[in-house]
């Protein structure tokens, strides 16, 4: 089966029903889109990394028995990522602006 995640086509095979796999892909796609909207200058790779960190943090909290997840399960419920890029992640390029003509 082929799914689309953040504009990329991806062939999936795995345990579970096709509907389950499509649902997982839809969740990842929604998370990546929420991260990208909150931080529009990030590359697809950085968006994927931040999304993976969010999901890994949620998993770790669930495994530890924590009641409060790090990020909202529904990306529409709480916009923006909980994990934000640090300055060590690299400089953010300046925005180009046009100067007004005299």
pLDDT in tens, the chain (102 residues): 999 999 999 998 888 899 999 999 999 999 999 999 999 999 999 999 999 999 999 999 999 886 565 554 444 444 443 444 444 444 444 445 556 666
Domain region containing 58:
2-84
Q: Which helix (H) or strand (E) holds 2?
A: strand 2-5
In a domain, 8, yes or no: yes
In a domain, 31, yes or no: yes
Using DSSP's 3-state secondary structure scheme, residue 8 falls into strand
Report if residue 71 sits inside a domain: yes
Close Cβ partners of 77 (under 8 Å, ≥ 6 residues apart): none
Number of domains in the chain: 1
The verdict on residue 35 lying in a domain is yes
């Amino acid at each position: 089966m082929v799914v689309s995640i953040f504009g990329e086509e991806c062939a999936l095979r795995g345990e579970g029903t096709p509907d389950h796999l499509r649902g997982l892909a839809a969740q990842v796609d929604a998370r990546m889109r929420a991260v990208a909207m909150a931080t529009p200058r990030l590359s697809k790779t950085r968006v994927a990394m931040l999304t993976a960190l969010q999901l890994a943090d949620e998993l770790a909290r669930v495994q530890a028995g924590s009641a409060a997840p790090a990020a909202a399960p529904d990306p529409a419920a709480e916009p923006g990522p909980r994990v934000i890029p640090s300055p060590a992640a690299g400089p953010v390029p300046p925005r180009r602006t046009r100067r007004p003509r005299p």
